[in-house]
Amino acid sequence: MKSMTLTTKDLMLLFTILSGFIFAVSFSSYYINNLIHEGKVCSCFIPVPLLIMTMSSLGFFVGGIASYYFLRRIIGERKETKINAEKSLNFLEGDEKIIIKQIIQKQGEIMQSSITGLTRVRTTRAIKKLESKQIIIREKKGMTNKIILDKQIMSLFKN
């Protein structure tokens, strides 16, 4: 699984894009400044207001492309993490998998009495197995138990 940190390639690309934009703005500013000092602003083939709007639009364009590039990668990595987390459930037995999926749907906490799809005996046995594997924590709540998914495991399934 890749981390969501910027790699050297990403940093170089970002640096190149920003450097190119800064160069374009600096060159345009220098060019306009020379025209103003020479008194040739009116004879410029690109009017100053149009040049300012062009540079602003170019800034939005460059920012949009950079944002799209980096956000697309981060969203793709999140989807990959979620798929890998779903695959990790394949290592559990059938009853254990059913219980874990229900706990995940309830944001990591569920009452044992509200677990459906299994008999009470099968539910209790599967919960004991999960507890011995340190996947869940069982807390006594009156006549039933509160089942809590381990925080590190739950963090895999959060968006």
Q: What is the pTM of this model?
A: 0.50
Task: Quote the pLDDT of residue 108.
Answer: 85
Closest C-alpha to 127, from 156, 97, 154, 107 = 97
Output the pLDDT for position 80: 66
Q: How many CB atoms lie within 10 A of CB 113?
A: 14
Domain 92-157 has CATH 1.10.1520.10: no
pLDDT beneath 70, residues of the chain = 1-6, 40-48, 76-85, 159
